[in-house]
Amino acid sequence: MTTIIDGKAVAASITGAIKDANAELQAQTGRKTGLAVIIVGDDPASHTYVGAKSRMAKECGFFSVQHTLPKETTQQQLAGLVHRLNGDDAIHGILVQLPLPQHLDADAVIQSIRPEKDVDGLHVANAGKLATGDLESGLISCTPAGATVFVRRVHGGDLSGLNALVIGRSNLFGKPMAQLLLNANATVTIAHSRTSGLAAVCRNADIVIAAVGRPEMVKANWLKPGATVIDVGINRVPAPEKGEDRTRLVGDVDFAECAPIASVITPVPGGVGPMTIAMLMANSVIAAHRASGLKVSGQLSKLISG
């Protein structure tokens, strides 16, 4: 029987452990985890995401600050704010909501964040630590970290002897996801738009992680029976059954087709999505502990590291 992973339930367990870790930090140091979120412009989706992140930070007991900047904000003004937050000892994590307005250089902004405060895990220093197998001193990109929690829950921390396929090679997800799987001893293949015979490649995989941005691309006949399938895609497709101009969310995996073939599968929505915010909070409390010369232990460490 196929197991459907409840991402909300897993994220809730992690959030509970984050609250405990933050309370322990406050008891030991007198300081809360500090998270600053920056949003530029008026994109509705970005404001929805930022609102959810800010609410979760407050729920976890963090010192949470949101900086909402107008669309006309200049590169210099944004850089100045990041610089001030870099030097603020009460702030342990800095998150810049992407995408930024087109006139701003997002990469320059991300790389200006001090690596130890880069709770999105996008700074080249954090990416480099992951690439070299240093999982102790860097911060890991949140969505791959969340997907890895699912994989560990199914297969444990050692993936020796398992073939893993990551469909998608983005810096945000595909590459760090592949590194995490490699660090867990899986044999890893990265597929992308130029991969020849993708279905055949997929059929050899014990673990399939789809993050390519193509609605319901992975079909049942692509899967090895009993595979673990983690769907990271978030796509809106027409839903005429709901009414004119209505849409619904689907992943990169055809869930209805693939669920009977897989042994474990994540739904969209309700799978990887909730984990992204949970891992952002986990990175923040980890950064706060490190800033005080401490290490996160107990239940949170067990949940996120297997």
76 is catalytic: no
- For 53-75, b where at least 16 C-beta lie within 10 A, e where not — what string? bbebbeebbbbbbbbebeeebee
* Active-site residue, from 32, 118, 120, 175: 120
120 is catalytic: yes
Q: Which 3 state secondary structure label does DSSP give 64?
A: strand
Alpha-carbon dihedral angle through residues 127, 234, 260, 154, given to the nearest 10 degrees? 30
Query: How do strand 247-250 and strand 235-238 relate by DSSP bridges?
Result: antiparallel
53 is catalytic: yes
> Taking a C-beta distance cutoff of 8 angstroms, is the pair 287, 116 a contact?
yes
Cα angle, residue 145 at apex, residues 298 and 294 outer, rounded to 5°: 35
> Taking a C-beta distance cutoff of 8 angstroms, is the pair 14, 300 a contact?
yes
Q: Which 3 state secondary structure label does DSSP give 208?
A: strand
* Active-site residue, from 53, 117, 129, 224: 53
Beta bridge partners of 164: 188, 207
d(CA 110, CA 287): 17
> Taking a C-beta distance cutoff of 8 angstroms, is the pair 207, 160 a contact?
no
* Active-site residue, from 32, 97, 129, 175: 97
What residues are labeled active site? 53, 97, 120
